């Protein structure tokens, strides 16, 4: 089994920032990422609110942070984490006597890791279409990113599902490309002539792997205050998967630093 | 020996596609036997149509002109290498 001081689940902005702090403090750390480092932001072409670099693309920003992490000697493994569990072992003999800090086991599709502390920075993902709408969509393209896939439907009718901010942005973007942009709400029937379905019905947290160990709120977000401490000592949370009001790049990075500081204090 | 081609459908405006550039460079450096064909979907619309590509980044692996694997979205090197098992 591979052992680290700290295992960070998720290599988005929050997770990578946490890794920078933890590595600089001299702890061994690994980032486990299911998809691609950078996370949600890689779909954004033009970032307006990252200090010092207005207009930078999400891909470039992610790549820059990734290099910074890499240069600090942090390993990044691309693997899906299945669960985080408490083991029977303690960090020290003193901990065993006090029934205090236990080692954690992070189970993945490709073997297990042990960690003295864990930071969960798994972010969110788009909420999927309902089953009936999926059926309705049939063989048509279903996309969760107009800026990624809109260009394929030049001069063709498309439909946007959703009623929030993201839906409005997708509609504005597609209006410049498609011949017609239908707008429907969650669970409305999909117009027959639409050749592609763009879905913007909100996001859901990626917290399945930790739902059995830390407290989640009714929407699945990990319950923790601004100190990023979860209901389990030794497990910290950072970024969009935490219960919070403002989900932005800078708050994700901020969480990364706070969670890392929490981990370092916990391990001290 | 069969000829293996990895087609990379991308566009300049596609952020995730940019993320895949260094991954593909690494792939190219370690898999000299696989030909990499980069397809800019804005310039080669017909080819994108022919392959029925409507989401990018999209990777299509062909052996002797026959599609054997297809993956959509950003992915680490490991996952692209896994396509070669097909």
Does residue A34 belong to the interface with chain B, where contact is any CB pair within 8 Å?
A: no
B1: distance to nearest CA of chain A, Å?
Answer: 31
What residue ranges of chain A are covered by domains with CATH 3.50.50.60?
2-125+203-267, 128-199
Number of domains in chain B: 1
Interface confidence (ipTM) of the complex: 0.77
Query: Are B16 and A43 within 8 A, CB to CB?
Result: yes
User: Per-residue pLDDT for B1 more than 80?
Assistant: no
Model pLDDT, residue A256? 98
Asked if A242 and A254 touch (Cβ cutoff 8 Å), the reply is no
Label residue A145 by pLDDT band (50, 70, 90): confident
Tally of CB atoms within 10 A around A225: 11
Note which residues in 202-261 of chain A have CB less than 8 A from chain B: none
- Structurally, what CATH architecture does the domain formed by A128-199 represent? 3-Layer(bba) Sandwich (3.50)
Between CA B42 and CA B46 the distance in angstroms is: 9
Residues 6+ apart with CB under 8 A from A143: A149, A150, A196, A197, A198, A199, B55
Give residue-wise pLDDT tens across range A114-124: 999 999 999 99
Fold of A2-125+203-267: FAD/NAD(P)-binding domain (3.50.50)
Residues 6+ apart with CB under 8 A from A64: none
CATH number of the domain at B51, please.
3.40.30.10
Instruction: Count A/B contacts: CB-CB distance under 8 Å.
Output: 60
A208: distance to nearest CA of chain B, Å?
Answer: 21
Give residue-wise pLDDT tens across range A39-85: 999 988 889 999 999 999 999 999 999 999 999 999 999 999 999 99
Range of the domain at B24: 4-83
- B13: chain A residues, CB-CB within 8 Å: 45, 147, 151
């Amino acid at each position: 089994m591979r052992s680290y001081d700290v295992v960070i689940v998720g290599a988005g902005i929050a997770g990578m920032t946490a890794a920078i702090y933890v590595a600089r403090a001299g702890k061994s750390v690994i980032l486990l990422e299911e998809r691609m480092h950078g996370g949600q932001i890689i779909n954004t072409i033009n970032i307006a609110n990252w200090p010092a670099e207005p207009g930078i693309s999400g891909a470039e920003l992610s790549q820059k942070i990734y290099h910074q992490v890499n240069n600090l000697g942090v390993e990044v493994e691309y693997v899906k984490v299945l669960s985080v569990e408490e083991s029977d072992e303690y960090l020290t003999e003193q901990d065993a006597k006090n029934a205090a800090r236990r080692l954690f086991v992070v189970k993945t599709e490709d073997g297990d890791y042990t960690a003295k502390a864990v930071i969960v920075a798994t972010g969110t993902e788009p909420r999927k279409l309902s089953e009936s709408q999926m059926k309705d969509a049939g063989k048509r393209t279903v996309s969760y990113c107009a800026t990624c896939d809109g260009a394929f439907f030049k001069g063709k009718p498309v439909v946007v599902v959703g009623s929030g901010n993201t839906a409005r942005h997708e509609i504005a973007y597609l209006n410049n490309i498609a011949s017609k942009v239908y707008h429907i709400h969650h669970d409305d029937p999909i117009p027959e002539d639409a050749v592609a379905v763009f879905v913007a019905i909100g996001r859901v947290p990626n917290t399945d792997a930790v739902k059995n160990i830390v407290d989640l709120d009714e929407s699945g977000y990990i319950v923790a205050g601004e100190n990023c401490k979860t209901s389990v000592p030794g497990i910290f949370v950072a970024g969009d998967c935490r219960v919070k009001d403002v989900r932005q790049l800078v708050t994700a990075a901020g969480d990364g630093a706070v969670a890392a500081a929490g981990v370092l204090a916990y391990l001290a | 020996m069969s000829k293996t081609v990895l087609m990379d459908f991308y566009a300049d405006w596609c952020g995730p596609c940019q993320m895949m550039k260094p991954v593909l460079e690494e792939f190219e450096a370690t898999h000299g036997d696989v030909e990499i064909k980069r397809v800019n979907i804005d310039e080669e619309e017909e080819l994108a149509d022919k392959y029925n590509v409507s989401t990018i980044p999209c990777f299509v692996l062909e052996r002797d002109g026959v599609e054997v694997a297809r993956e959509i979205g950003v992915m680490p090197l490991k996952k692209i290498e896994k396509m070669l098992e097909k």
